[in-house]
Structure 1
Amino acid sequence: MNAFLAASPVLSSILALGFGMRSLHAAMLGVVAAIVAAIMAFPLPATEIGYASLKWLPLVAEVVLIVGGGLLMSEVLRHAGAQAALANWIKGRAGTGVAAVLLVVHGITPFAESVTGFGIGVTIGIPLLVFMGLPARQAALIGLLGLCAVPWGSMGPGTMIAASLAGIGFDELGIASALLSIIPFAITGGVAAWLISAPGERGRALALAGVSALVFATVVGLSNLAFGTAPAGALGSVAIICLHLLWSSRRAHGSEPLLPIGRRALQAYGLLLGGVLVMGAVMRFGHLPEQWRYLASPALWLFVAALWFCAGRPPAEPWSRAWKAWLQVAPVTALFIFMGIVMAVTGTAAYLARLLAEIGSGYLAMSPFVGALGGFVTGSSSGSNAMFAATQAEISRSLGADLLLFMATHNVAAAISILASPGKIEMAIQLAGGDAAFQRRWIQRMAIAVVMAVVSLLAVVNVLA
């Protein structure tokens, strides 16, 4: 009976999503199941409940504020035409071919995803690919492949949740995830290069994809070391963008200049990154108390950058759109986090972990697939980590595995799987237009194949470590 109760929060959420229930309702069902399990089999004293609430409330608040800031920034840029201005300028400079496609997969889409999140990178990358002349189904799939750096999406709330629930450092998990991310970076870049290159040129195309992946992973890793996890994805993708634009500068002499609204958008992105980086450095070198870390949080600087862009007065339409989107996304994220917290503090996760740990070392190969399942069904690394991170961490401890590496494989697997989630597939098809809707099955199969390849290699790493 206890085994059923311990597993019921996760199983009920997954089954609810599988049967087509809204994410909010699935998350609520998981929370109710977690509370029922705690009352019936894993009771906790009232004093412990109060202590846990105070301990975890700042994390929940920070994550939902990051969600809100990312959505607001995306909407004010879109409404002002800044995203379109940037896209047109990049299109004029990037040209076509393998290098241009890799610019989207390892540069533009990850950058947009890193500073805003929630699939916004796809809304910028796919129109660029269509403009380059790619068939609709290729544009949709390759646009999805740009969701390869989701551990740093929206400045990393998903990774923050995993680190907090597992009891390890945010930056430590970011660095370990960066080392493992050479796998998704190489596979997504390789698939994109293979798809758009002629048969006789695929060797060179794959070599270029490998170099791009290596540079991307290296800069992301070094950025984690130097500046922390939050800005690392954005800095890594900026490096790819700059390298490509420098390489293609000879072809860009006739391109149109960037419009003023586009320049202001770049300044807003610079303010966002600069604020996080500078305040992060102040925290590190000034040895300020932990409570001051929120001055370096994206939860603050996303709002600062968005409000600066619109001179402190967001127009009614983007404000309304961001609010409506936040009401859909934030409660789901918060509820999944709450479910994970209840499972962690009541001992439900530890009990479930002990049961799963009886599988023995064989679970090392299963673990990344568990993380990927969560990312697929929730369409969010934050959702997957909130559902599974506490349990995965307990299993790692029970098996005596390296906790940091174990959680890094889980984190990267949960992140890469969202590119195959039904919601992201639908978004990509709508953006690509043309005959993409008739190629839905091909796009879905290819996306799942990419995810399975990445997760399988992560499982191998887990087993061999």
Structure 2
Amino acid sequence: MPLFWSALPVLAVIAALLLGMRSLHAAMAGVVLSAIGMALAFPLGADAAMQAVMAWLPVMVEVLLIVGGGLLLSEALRAAGAQKALAQWILGQTGHGVGAVLLVVHGVTPFTESLTGFGIGITIGIPLLVHCGLPARKVAVIGLLGLCAVPWGSMGPGTLIAATMAGLPLDALGLASAYVSVIPFVVTGVVAAWMASPAGERPRAVMQGALSGLLLTVAVGFFNATVGTPPAGALGALAMVVLHLWLGRRAARPAGLAALEPLGRRALCAYGVLLAGVLLAGVAVRVLHLPAAWRMLASPALWLFMATVFFTRSIPPRRVLGGAFRSWMLVAPVTGLFIAMGVMMAVSGMAAQLAHALASGGRWYLFAAPFVGALGGFVTGSNAGANAMFAATQAEIAQALNVSVLPFMAVHNVSAALLLMGSPGKIEMACQLAPPQALTERRWIQLAVLAIDLFAVALMAVINLFL
């Protein structure tokens, strides 16, 4: 019976989404069933419940503020025409549709996501893809594929959680995760290039996408080995941005930054305020050893709003605030409910029960393990949340099966991060950022992203079995 109640919320959410139910309704069902399961089979004491609330409520509030800030910045740039100006400049720099798409998927989005986290990378990447002439549903899918470097998202707190729970050095797990990430990097590059190219040019585009994925792997691995895990994703993605812009300049011989309209330059400056604010404030918080309450100074939640004010040069206009708020009301409840469901399953022991039940199959669990991690990422929409749910249990199972913990946990970490792009909250956000037609094709987008993700997870499962 405990196994039934531990599996029911997850199975119910998956079934609801596959049947085409709204993400909000699926999330509500998952939370209600988790609460029932806790009451009937996984009772939690009042003290433990209060500790969980005190630990996770600030995290949830910060995540929702970051989502709101990202949507507000995106709406301000869109309404002013800055996104269009910036996108046209990028297209001019790259000189080829596939090059522009790969610049976003392996450069712009991972760079922003590594610095900010919580899916904010797509609030910059998708608006750029809108101007590439692709159908709305392809814009949403390709935009989500940019969330391929999430183990380093927000400077790697999810990887830090996994390393701590498994008793591994952070940089060792980060470097091993970089090696494993060759699979999602190449898969996302190939799929994005295939979707963005005409039928007759797909063989060349696919090779271009695969090479881009391999180079991103080398870049992230190099910086992970030389400067450590936290900045490795941002530096590796920045190297890819520079590479794709350089290749585009060789192909198209553009006029350079001088060709960028003033609005586009202001947009770049706003992004600079965001990224510099997060980096410099983070350094200040660590160097000065400021109390935990001061950590919000380095949060993307603050600097997204600061970047918006910098761009608009005042409080954003009412129409911008209204548009961002309407989008936030569609995204925030879904995101918050799924975080709540993941926390309920983790603190009550439901997640551990589910993982241990799957481990009863012996060494064949090595094949199933990446899917367990992926399930955590799908349910919580967060690498940190997925690792909070499953990392300790996965490490225990690896030791029980007498396999090397480091490669096992690297596969788990990357798998848990990968399904974030297919989580209902991120799908909802992508549909809000893409052209309006994407809202009517939400189910197709969800299934397409899940199919791509599960293919990559299956490849990692085969590697896990042989490792």
TM-score in same-fold range (> 0.5): yes
Report if aligned partners of 2:13, 2:27 keep a CA contact under 8 Å in 1. Answer: yes
2:456: which partner in 1? Answer: 454
Residue 399 of structure 2 corresponds to residue 394 of structure 1: no
Alignment of 1:327-366 (within 5 A): 327-366=329-368
What is the identity percentage for the equivalent residue pairs of Structure 1 and Structure 2?
Answer: 42
Letter in 2 for 1:252: R
Q: Normalized against structure 2, the TM-score is what?
A: 0.79
Report if aligned partners of 1:381, 1:418 keep a CA contact under 8 Å in 2. Answer: yes
Instruction: Tell me the CA shift for residue 83 of structure 1.
Output: 0.3
2:466: which partner in 1? Answer: 464
2:57: which partner in 1? Answer: 57
Alignment of 1:62-461 (within 5 A): 62-96=62-96, 98-108=98-108, 110=110, 117=120, 119-120=122-123, 123-130=126-133, 141=138, 144-150=141-147, 156=153, 160=157, 168=165, 177-193=177-193, 196=197, 202=203, 208-221=208-221, 226=227, 229=230, 235-249=235-249, 251-253=252-254, 257-372=259-374, 381-382=381-382, 386=385, 390-391=389-390, 393-400=392-399, 402=405, 404-415=409-420, 417=422, 450-461=452-463
In structure 2, the gaps of 5 or more residues are: none
Letter in 1 for 2:79: H
Deviations 1:340-360 (A, max 9, x none): 222222222222222222122
Question: Partners in 2 of 1:289 and 1:96 — Cα distance?
Answer: 48
Report if aligned partners of 1:67, 1:154 keep a CA contact under 8 Å in 2. Answer: no
Report if aligned partners of 1:356, 1:395 keep a CA contact under 8 Å in 2. Answer: no
Question: Partners in 1 of 2:349 and 2:37 — Cα distance?
Answer: 10
Q: Given the superposition, is the C-alpha separation of residues 22 and 387 from structure 1 closer, same or farther in structure 2, using an over 3 Å criterion?
A: farther
Question: Partners in 2 of 1:344 and 1:328 — Cα distance?
Answer: 26
Deviations 1:160-199 (A, max 9, x none): 5686599649976766544432222222323455674897
Q: Normalized against structure 1, the TM-score is what?
A: 0.79
Letter in 1 for 2:145: C
Question: Partners in 2 of 1:110 and 1:243 — Cα distance?
Answer: 14
Instruction: Tell me the CA shift for residue 310 of structure 1.
Output: 1.5
Secondary structure of 1:24's match?
Answer: helix
Secondary structure of 2:144's match?
Answer: coil
Instruction: Tell me the CA shift for residue 38 of structure 1.
Output: 1.7
Question: Partners in 2 of 1:2 and 1:337 — Cα distance?
Answer: 22
1:25: which partner in 2? Answer: 25
Report if aligned partners of 1:365, 1:463 keep a CA contact under 8 Å in 2. Answer: yes
Q: Given the superposition, is the C-alpha separation of residues 37 and 388 from structure 1 closer, same or farther in structure 2, using an over 3 Å criterion?
A: farther
Instruction: Tell me the CA shift for residue 316 of structure 1.
Output: 0.9
Instruction: Tell me the CA shift for residue 315 of structure 1.
Output: 0.9
Question: Partners in 2 of 1:13 and 1:446 — Cα distance?
Answer: 17
Size of the aligned set, in residue pairs, is: 448
Q: Given the superposition, is the C-alpha separation of residues 78 and 174 from structure 1 closer, same or farther in structure 2, using an over 3 Å criterion?
A: farther
453-462 vs 386-395, which moves further: 386-395
Report if aligned partners of 1:106, 1:189 keep a CA contact under 8 Å in 2. Answer: yes
Q: Given the superposition, is the C-alpha separation of residues 362 and 113 from structure 1 closer, same or farther in structure 2, using an over 3 Å criterion?
A: same
Report if aligned partners of 2:106, 2:216 keep a CA contact under 8 Å in 1. Answer: yes
Q: Given the superposition, is the C-alpha separation of residues 418 and 332 from structure 1 closer, same or farther in structure 2, using an over 3 Å criterion?
A: closer
Letter in 2 for 1:5: W
Question: Partners in 2 of 1:166 and 1:13 — Cα distance?
Answer: 29
In structure 1, the gaps of 5 or more residues are: 131-135
Question: Partners in 2 of 1:353 and 1:374 — Cα distance?
Answer: 11
Question: Partners in 1 of 2:447 and 2:48 — Cα distance?
Answer: 47
Letter in 2 for 1:277: L
Letter in 2 for 1:78: R
Report if aligned partners of 2:163, 2:169 keep a CA contact under 8 Å in 1. Answer: no
1:133: which partner in 2? Answer: none
188-197 vs 79-88, which moves further: 188-197
Report if aligned partners of 1:108, 1:237 keep a CA contact under 8 Å in 2. Answer: yes
Question: Partners in 1 of 2:422 and 2:435 — Cα distance?
Answer: 20
79-88 vs 189-198, which moves further: 189-198
Instruction: Tell me the CA shift for residue 74 of structure 1.
Output: 0.9
Report if aligned partners of 1:71, 1:322 keep a CA contact under 8 Å in 2. Answer: yes
Q: Given the superposition, is the C-alpha separation of residues 238 and 159 from structure 1 closer, same or farther in structure 2, using an over 3 Å criterion?
A: closer
